[in-house]
Structure 1
């Protein structure tokens, strides 16, 4: 069994869907499960729908229509006749979206987010499955929400592994080509949950673990895992191979090619992960597995934008000790902050984190009750693995440094 994952960039238009079919024809699709994300920027477009639902109801209908129009154009480009059953299928999917938004009573943003955001994946996989069947690549469409079960921690749900394994083994025919959605799952009440942004990679790893797959391949618009994001760094180089450990480190620090949770289930069963280009599917790409170092051994650069750096000190110049740190972390957990860097001294404590849930003001008010608080918004966090002096200089040049922390293998720098 092999598991393939195609992201939104690979299926952003009709040509992308045709190229996905070409990749399958070139590399083989027997005993294959294909996990697909929403098309293009549809997750972003559906986030606008959600925002309008809560904040700008007058704009809601227009934003939904944009989502429908986008998919309709792809349908027209892929299928010759408008009478094809796929047109009604997609219309039905978006009727479900309309129905939910008109009947929902829950004021919980995170719950509504998960119920709405997944329509991108449901539409993309329905279109792709129909197109593959149309050109002779017979396949089975699966609703991943019937297979991957989680708790109800909406927007970053935790997998119920025992229940999920049972569902996948009971319902999935490994002898045929299967198409399913990334990112999505469901809770015990069958409400849709999501695994976190970019969670489709994690979906592929969950299936691979449960199916004891031979390998997982993530198809990207880059040649493989690069030592830097080419959007922010010049002269990015391909890493031919890296170990699970190294890949987990890179993912933890924010490397965008591999989702942080993806590697853990693969490592447990020593399932190799390949990252390859959907534009050049025959090229080797990057192999992630057991027993590899990093090849070539060069600095790896990661940047995370729009971070928050909060510095705390005690009001009476007393030490910041275990009790204080424990309380700080309880608050960070309470307000769902994802911590990226911590640094402390005798009387101060600094933490850099993602404010994904927009709880910053509430957190700061809570902290100000006990600490002197300084906050810097919209900072950038640079991480360099296997750094050298040249790498450090290239990051620091021309920037205001707010925090710097070195270990033997890694340097992290927060800049304004």
Structure 2
């Protein structure tokens, strides 16, 4: 069994859906699982719906209609007759969104976020399921929420592996092609949860692990894993081979082509991961597997923007030791801060964080009760694996360096 994952860029419009079908025909589709993300910028559009639900009610219905029109236009392009059943299916999904908005009583932003944003994947897979059947590619539509079970940590749920494995093994027919959603799951109360942004890659790894898949292929709009994001770096190079360990390092530091959690379940069962271009499916792309040397051996660059750098010092010049560090990390955890870099000295502690849940002010208020605190917003965190001095010089050129940390293989630089 093979697992194929197609991201939002691969199905951004009707032509993208057509190309997905062509890729399946070219590489073979008789059995396996196709995992699909929300189309194009649908997740962002649904995030605006959530925002309007809480803070701008006058724009709520128009923001829902905008998402509906986007998908309906794709339907008109793909299907010749408006009476095709897919039109009604899409309308019903939007009715579900509107019904949830009417009856919901929860003030929990993260809960509401997951219930609404998850429809991006339900919409895309419904369209693709119908289009593939329309093209003679028989497939089953699977609601992944019934199979991947998690806790109730909305927007970044943790997988219940025992329950998930049992549900997947008993429900997936591995003799046919199955189409399902990435990114979404459900908790023990059957409320929808999500696995974190870009979590569709993780979905592919979960299914591969539970089904003992032969391989996972992630189809992207790039030729494979590059040594840097071409949006921010020039003269990028394709990495033809990467070991699991190196790929996990790259993912941890922010390589945008791989979800940080994706590689761990694959590594446990030594399932190879291929990253290929949906525009050129015949090209070899990148292979990630056990014990593979980095090929070619070049510096790899990662960038995380819109970070917050917090410098913490004791009020009485006492040492920042175990009990203080414990208190700091407890507060970071309480306020759901993602820690991307830490550095400490005798009387100070610096941490670079991603303020995903917009809890910075609450965190700072509690830190100031015990420590002297200085912070910088909207900083950039650069990470270079297998760095050279020239690579460091290029990053630091014309920038204010706020913090820098070097180990044998990795350098991290915070700039303003």
Gaps (5+ residues) in structure 2? none
Match of 1:18 in 2: 18
Q: Deviations over 1:160-192 (max 9, x none)?
A: 000000000111100000000000000000000
Aligned residue runs from structure 1 range 9-88, under 5 A: 9-88=9-88
- Aligned partners of 1:69 and 1:108: how far apart in 2? 28
CA distance in 1, matches of 2:367, 2:135: 60
- Residue 178 of structure 2 aligns with which residue? 178
What is the rounded CA distance, in whole Å, between the counterparts of 2:244 and 2:172 in structure 1?
A: 28
- 3-state SS of 2:204 partner: helix
> Which position in structure 1 is the counterpart of 2:168?
168
2:158 and 2:389 map into 1 onto residues whose CA distance is: 40
Within 2, Cα distance between the matches of 1:223 and 1:172? 30
Give the match's secondary structure for 2:305: strand
Shift of 1:28: 0.4
Q: Deviations over 1:246-285 (max 9, x none)?
A: 0000000010000000000000000000000000001000
Determine the structure 2 residue equivalent to 1:370: 370
- What residue ranges of structure 1 are gaps of 5+ in the alignment? none
The secondary structure found in structure 2 opposite 1:343 is: strand
Aligned counterpart, 1:261: 261
- Please give the alpha-carbon distance, in whole angstroms, between the structure 1 residues aligned to 2:389 and 2:291: 28
Partner of 2:118: 118
Distance in 1 (CA, whole Å) between partners of 2:270 and 2:112 is 37
Q: How many angstroms does 1:293 deviate by?
A: 1.2
Which residues in structure 2 correspond to 1:356-367 (within 5 Å)?
356-367=356-367
Is the partner of 2:265 in helix, strand or coil? helix
CA shift for structure 1 position 294: 0.4
2:148 is matched with 148
Matched residue, 2:398: 398
RMSD: 0.4
Name 1:138's counterpart in structure 2: 138
Q: CA deviation at 1:137?
A: 0.1
- Describe the SS at the equivalent of 1:179: strand
4+ long deviations beyond 3 Å = none
1:2 is the counterpart of 2:2? yes
Deviation at 1:234, TM superposition (A): 0.3
Tell me the residue number matched to 1:191.
Answer: 191
SS in 2 for 1:4: strand
Deviation at 1:30, TM superposition (A): 2.0
State the Cα distance separating 1:56 from its structure 2 match: 0.3
The residue that corresponds to 2:91 in the other structure is 91
Pair 1:342 & 2:349 matched = no
- Which residue of 2 is the match for residue 109 of structure 1? 109
TM-score (norm 2): 1.00
Query: Shift of the alpha carbon at 1:32?
Result: 1.4
TM-score norm. by structure 1 comes to: 1.00
Deviation at residue 344 of structure 1 after TM alignment: 0.3
- Distance in 2 (alpha carbons) for counterparts of 1:31 and 1:262: 22
Residue 97 of structure 1 aligns to a residue whose secondary structure is helix
CA distance in 2, matches of 1:244, 1:136: 37
